Structure 1
Amino acid sequence: MSRASIHLVRHGEVFNPDGILYGRLPEFHLSDLGREMADRVANYFAERRNDGAKLVYLVASPLTRAQETAAPIARALGVETITDERILEAENRFEGLPGVKRQLRNPRYWPLLRNPMKPSWGEPYAQQVDRVMAAVHEARIHALELGGSGAEAVLVSHQLPIWVTRLAAEGRRLWHDPRSRECTLTSVTTLDFNDMELTGVRYAEPSADLLPGAANLPGA
């Protein structure tokens, strides 16, 4: 059997003083704290490599915040960053709105809330899982080609696509309360494989001590 591990990394904190649900909007850069978080997760992987981990492949969403989070990881590991739209943020019809909780009191948006299990305001959860898992398996194949059995890849993505992929991997329902997501800024959700078989899910928070006070919009 060929063992491989795929690490799904959420980006760092974004500079967003107006509290906008930025979704797929361009040019939302990391804040100073976000850059510190990105350095922290890069060090996390560098330490793993120094301990013998075969970290050989790096992929990032095309969005600015993901690319900026991937940059120090690429430098730390000495690999290039491959861009893959399949690990992009989820579509969201509230994208661009400030203070989304306040906006939900406006009747004009109520039709978007008719089916939270899908969800009706954005890209279906199952569709997100399908595209992310396709990217995961492609990264698994490339990592094995580069590093052989035991190879590892890093994919820098976004909270919701990572979270629903984890829910699917653990056999849980995809519908959930956004406040319950265990996917903090620059957290690492790891999927372990033997060949194509998923054998385990792990979770780590390299930036845990930096999280208090960080801006952390659900769905951002």
Structure 2
Amino acid sequence: MTTSSTTATVHLVRHGEVHNPDRVLYGRLNGFGLSELGQRMAEDLADWFAGRARAAGRTPVVLSASPLQRAQETAEPISRALGLTIDTDARVLEAENHFEGLSDVKAELKNPKHWPFMVNPFRPSWGEPYQDQVKRMAAAVHDLRDRALAAGGPGSEAIVVSHQLPIWVTRLSAEDRPLWHDPRQRQCSLTSVTSLHFERGQDRPRIEYQEPNKALLKDALNLPGA
């Protein structure tokens, strides 16, 4: 929830579970929509946001989403519940990844043709540099913050549906932590909400992390990097 010192909040939402029986690292590929469980997650998440709005006496004023199908489908119930139009923003798109489209990345790593892409895990050399992801995400977040303030004044909120890796590196950057990390250690579950609370007199936002669908996660397929 917002506090009296909060000027605006931007909620970074990860999409719901994807229908992906072949366990493909789908990245930016088209045709990967939500599974039945993912659709339930999206509906429950919309109810969660609506409940927060009723309790606070005010509704988020801006809703944005990545152009990818899974993000748009996650945003749709939120749009209906809060009466907001979905603004599509390519800046919050999933990260590029050399291994996109593969279903067994661990086995593929044994193939010498992939080795040149593994030389620098700190960048990382197999995909879009972490710094580039942070730059585009930060630009989108700051625009959303400013739009929320313009539309609703101090204490206003914006919601953006994005993807695990861009959300996680954005959080690492906001907390002034190294961007290199173990993908298995990301705190960014399906339909999780990473809230950036921008407060007066603070250079960095305060981070709040919540899992509205925690009870459903045990039944979900959750691939690191997907």
TM-score (ref. length: structure 2): 0.94
| Cα distance, 1:199 vs structure 2 | 3.5
> Using the alignment, how far apart are the partners of 2:90 and 2:37 within structure 1?
25
Residue of structure 2 in register with 1:212 after alignment: 218
Q: Which position in structure 2 is the counterpart of 1:17?
A: 21
Look up the match of 1:203. 209
* Residue type of the alignment partner of 2:170: T
Q: Which residue of 2 aligns with 1:139?
A: 144
Residue number among 95, 98, 112 corresponding to 1:90 in the alignment = 95
- In 1, the alpha carbon distance for the partners of 2:59 and 2:177 equals 30
- Asked if the contact 2:66/2:92 (under 8 Å) is kept, the reply is yes
CA-to-aligned-CA distance 1:66-85 (integer Å, 9 cap, x gap) = 00000000001001000000
- Contact 1:54-1:147 at 8 Å conserved across structures: no
Instruction: Please state how far the C-alpha of 1:92 moved relative to its aligned partner.
Output: 0.3
Aligned structure 1 segments of 4 or more residues deviating by more than 3 angstroms? none
Shift of 1:145: 1.1
State the Cα distance separating 1:213 from its structure 2 match. 2.9
Query: Is the Cα contact below 8 Å between 2:25 and 2:223 reproduced in 1?
Result: yes
Which residue of 34, 52, 63 corresponds with 1:58? 63
Quote the Cα distance in structure 2 between the aligned partners of 1:31 and 1:2. 36
Aligned to 1:180: 185
Q: Residue type of the partner of 1:89?
A: E
After superposition, the C-alpha distances for 1:76-107 in whole angstroms (9 at most, x for unaligned) are: 10010000000000000111111111211222
Alpha-carbon deviation of 1:2?
6.7
1:89-146 Cα distance to aligned partner (Å, 9 max, x none): 0000111111111211222111111000000000000110010010000001111111
Unaligned runs of 5+ in 2: none
Residue 54 (structure 1) shift: 3.5
Aligned length: 220
For 2:122 and 2:6, how far apart are their aligned partners in 1? 36
Aligned equivalent of 1:165: 170
Cα RMSD of the aligned pairs, angstroms, is 1.3
**What amino acid sits opposite 2:16 in the alignment?**
G
Q: How does 1:23-172 map to 2 (within 5 A)?
A: 23-52=27-56, 53-172=58-177
Structure 1: which 5+ residue stretches go unaligned? none
Q: Distance in 2 between matches of 1:208 and 1:2?
A: 26
CA distance in 1 between partners of 2:9 and 2:142 (Å)? 10
- Higher deviation after alignment, 200-209 or 105-114: 105-114
TM-score computed with the length of structure 1 as normaliser: 0.97
Contact 1:56 1:153 in 2 (8 A): yes
For 2:8 and 2:30, the matched residues in 1 are separated by 33
1:194 matched to which residue of 2?
199
Asked whether the 8 Å contact 2:199–2:206 carries over to 1, the reply is no
Say which is worse superposed, 54-63 or 103-112, in terms of deviation: 103-112
Name the SS of the counterpart of 1:189 in structure 2: strand
Residues in 1 aligned to 2:135 and 2:84: alpha-carbon distance in whole angstroms: 26
